[in-house]
Amino acid sequence: MKIEYLGHSCFKLTESTGTSVVCDPYDKAIGYELPPVAADAVTISHGHYDHDNKAEVAGTPIILDKECSYDLPGVEISSIKSFHDETRGKKRGENIIFKFRMDGIDVCHLGDLGEACSSELIENILPVNVLLIPVGGTYTIDAQMAKEYVDRIMPDIVIPMHYKTKSLKIDIDRVDEFLELFEDDTQITTVDGEVEILRDDLNGESTQIIVINRVK
């Protein structure tokens, strides 16, 4: 499978036969525009402008924005209700976590998760091979809480999202604050644009972090 980072919390996930899903497309008000993209499905974690610009995704995608279970050719999609803040949604409402199984790999997109790590939520999220996790704080979990989620989920690969970049107008923390919490022997790789992941690449013995730079 291929994971392409389009910026902020938006990814395009593509299964080996071509079925694709776009997660959390954003509006240009964040500071930069969503690049041209098409997909078979679009998932929306919550209805805020920086996550729900489904109109910009070309084609005739299925829109998934609530708890559901949905199958596409080669892709199984499920979702879990969570909260956008630490007060069970009183500040910013609910957040939908989406899970995808494609090419034998379990991918989890946490959306704008804001609630503290709990055993119940972790149990609902597992198993996870690839974790797409917000790390910028302010409107989501911060670096410290993101680290706790990583430690308890123990995915093979962590891809951080929703962090401060040069063009982003939203006031959140940089990804470095998350990366600095890991031991020196943690494998941290930076790539441009996208990464291809094969089931055989996942050994279940350690967690590596891949930071994907947006290039479009």
Domain ranges of the chain: 2-213
pLDDT at 99: 98
CA distance 20 to 9: 16
CB 113 within 8 A of CB 121: no
10 Å CB burial of residue 31 (0-12, 13-18, 19+) is middle
**What is the DSSP secondary structure assignment for residue 150, as one 8-state letter?**
H
Looking at residue 151, what is its pLDDT? 96
H or E segment to which residue 144 belongs: helix 143-153
% of the chain with per-residue pLDDT over 70: 97
Would you state the pLDDT for residue 91? Answer: 75
Who's near 9: CB < 8 A, 6+ residues apart?
A: 23, 24, 26, 45, 50, 51, 109, 111, 112, 132, 134, 161, 162
> Residue 76: what are its φ and ψ, rounded to 5°?
-105, 130
Higher pLDDT, 201 or 41: 41
Average model confidence (pLDDT) across the chain: 94
Q: Tell whether omega for the bond before 134 is within 30 degrees of 0, i.e. cis.
A: no
Mean pLDDT throughout 38-57?
95
- Where is average pLDDT lowest: 27-36, 83-92, 199-208? 83-92
Architecture (CATH level 2) of domain 2-213: 4-Layer Sandwich (3.60)
Segment 43-63 shows an average pLDDT of 95
pLDDT above 70 for 4 = yes
pLDDT tens digits for range 59-109: 999 999 999 999 999 999 999 999 876 767 667 668 999 999 999 999 999
pLDDT for 214: 92
Do residues 207 and 18 make contact, with C-beta atoms less than 8 angstroms apart?
no
Q: Distance between CA 30 and CA 6 in Å, rounded? A: 13
pLDDT (0 to 100) of residue 85: 66
Instruction: Using a pLDDT cut of 90, give the percent of the chain over it.
Output: 88
What's the rounded Cα separation, in Å, for the pair 175 and 159? 10
Q: How far apart are CA 111 and CA 109, in angstroms?
A: 6
Decide if 61 contacts 19 (C-beta within 8 A). no
Using CA atoms, how far apart are residues 112 and 96, in angstroms rounded to an integer? Answer: 8
pLDDT tens digits, one per residue of 99-155: 999 999 999 999 999 999 999 999 999 999 999 999 999 999 999 999 999 999 999
